[in-house]
Amino acid sequence: MREKIICGLDVGSSKVCAVIAGHNPSEPELNIMGAGEQECPGLRHGVVVNIDNTCRAVSAAVEKAESAAQVKVKDVLVNVNGHHIEGHMQQGATKIPRSDREITEDDVERVINAARAVPLSSDKQIIHAIPLDYRVDSQGGVENPVGMEGSHLEVEVLLITGDSAPINNLDKCVTRAGFGIKNPTATILAPAQTVLAGEEKELGCAIVDIGAQTINIAIFVEGRISYIGQVDIGSDYITYDLAYGLRTSFSEAKRIKENCGSAVEDEVLEGDVQYVGVDGHTSRTAETRRINRIIRPRVDDIIEFISNEISKSGCKQLIPGGVILSGGGAQLRGMDRAVASKLEGFQVRTGRPRGLRGKAESVNAPKYATAVGLVEYAVNTNTGFAFQDMAASGRGGFWEKLKTWIEEMF
């Protein structure tokens, strides 16, 4: 069977990451073909604030991935980020009116739609309706009721909602860049697909995706997602403090943080760090001990926000599988150890995309977890994407699709 080409596009808080992968149903592993990333000044806290800048960043990131993969992309799988994303537990119920009482897929669809039928303001929309638990005639713990016999079907659903305006603005950026969008996915669902082990989900765990300006959290209990949350803070919080403390630019502070900094204050690299002042010319030096002294208090603040969100979930005692970190902010040296030292009683590890082949080394970093996870989420949830239409010799858009249709017809 021909391998289908899929592109995951992670539109984060400060940059855009694109990953192109091949999927063959007969192969359990994704074939990573290429990846690219591009800094983006058009994003703030996960939402678009400048369409033109974001559009250019989307184009640049995908073009870099295309160059590495030697294919052209038409459509992309994209994430939806921002503080407007919320999770709500809802119940749905329906009767099975037929005499044979055998539950069909139509019955399942009907009961999920019953759970979706909640009043939302005109500026809100449902992004996902994730069934967590079915009950057939009051018997719970049913994973798939299709084919079972019963007279009454219930479901518990996690509804993930978001504001329509930022979702539509993101859609504009991607379509103006020349790509079609295949069903947006809430950010935190993506890295959970690729960095978590099945055993961790069953035992109970939390995934914490640390971006530049947002932190997304999802908690799994007994194999199912039970809570999602977000904090409007991220690794840029550290960078701004470092820029202020060292009297340098934000970009220089970011370079220092990534190359020389540590979340563990006593982990000091040998030698002084050379950098330029805020004027862009004056040469300066700093000891790594001083750099880490600036970094550590901000890391502690971030960990406190994470701890508060986990406590708020009500699931703190139900996640013996520990805390798994992903996202660009998780790449700070010693971050996993810093989190473990503050979140007493939890095992903490840094998560990277798992179970890949091809150019897997090119995405072997926490910052690529969302882009890879978008592809895995689409494949694993069998959302019915027309994967064969997601890569072609030209860009997306109406005229390209019309050309393709004509070619297929004649």
What region, left, alpha or beta, does residue 394 occupy, with left being phi > 0 and alpha being psi -120 to 50 degrees? beta
Q: Assign 161 a pLDDT band (cuts: 50, 70, 90).
A: very high
Burial of 2 (0-12, 13-18, 19+ CB in 10 A): exposed
**Domain 236-300 belongs to what architecture?**
Alpha-Beta Complex (3.90)
The Cα–Cα gap between 408 and 402 comes to: 10
Query: Whole-angstrom distance between the N-terminal and C-terminal Cα of the chain?
Result: 24
pLDDT tens figures, 323-372:
999 999 999 999 999 999 999 889 999 999 999 999 999 999 999 999 99
> Given this model, what pLDDT does residue 393 score?
33
Mean pLDDT of 191-197: 94
**Domain edges within the chain:** 86-164, 236-300
Is the pLDDT confidence value at 395 over 80? no
pLDDT tens figures, 201-228:
999 999 999 999 999 999 999 999 999 9
- Residue 306 CB contacts under 8 Å (≥ 6 apart), including other chains: 208, 215, 217, 231, 323, 339, 343
Picking from 409, 395, 6, the residue whose alpha carbon sits closest to that of residue 182 is 6
The Cα–Cα gap between 238 and 295 comes to: 6
**Overall fold of domain 86-164:** Dna Ligase; domain 1 (3.30.1490)
- Give one DSSP letter per residue of 3-21, joined into a string: PEEEEEEEE-SSEEEEEEE
Tell whether pTM > 0.95. Answer: no
Q: Assign 391 a pLDDT band (cuts: 50, 70, 90).
A: very low
pLDDT tens figures, 41-93:
999 988 999 999 999 999 999 999 999 999 999 999 999 998 899 999 999 99
3-state secondary structure 40-96: CCCEECCEECCHHHHHHHHHHHHHHHHHHHCCEECEEEEEECCCCCEEEEEEEEEEC
The Cα–Cα gap between 337 and 250 comes to: 26
If you search the block for the tokens 């882009």, which residue do you land on? 371
Q: Assign 382 a pLDDT band (cuts: 50, 70, 90).
A: low
> Given this model, what pLDDT does residue 26 score?
85
- Residue 62 CB contacts under 8 Å (≥ 6 apart), including other chains: 7, 9, 18, 36, 73, 76, 177, 179
Quick check: helix, strand or coil at residue 36?
A: strand
* Mean pLDDT for the chain overall: 90
- Residue 346 CB contacts under 8 Å (≥ 6 apart), including other chains: 319, 322, 323, 340
The Cα–Cα gap between 180 and 89 comes to: 31
Percent share of the chain, pLDDT over 70: 93
In this structure, is the dihedral angle defined by the CA atoms of residues 276, 282, 285 and 290, taken in order, positive or negative?
negative
Q: Assign 107 a pLDDT band (cuts: 50, 70, 90).
A: very high
- Give one DSSP letter per residue of 301-336, joined into a string: HHHHHHHHHHHHHT-GGG-TT-EEEESGGGGSTTHH
Picking from 110, 289, 96, 82, the residue whose alpha carbon sits closest to that of residue 167 is 82
pLDDT tens figures, 266-285:
887 888 999 999 999 999 99
Counting Cα atoms < 13 Å in the Cβ hemisphere of 394 gives: 9
User: Cα-Cα-Cα-Cα dihedral of 183, 187, 191, 196, to 10°?
Assistant: -100
Tokens of 71: 């294919």
Mean pLDDT of 191-196: 94
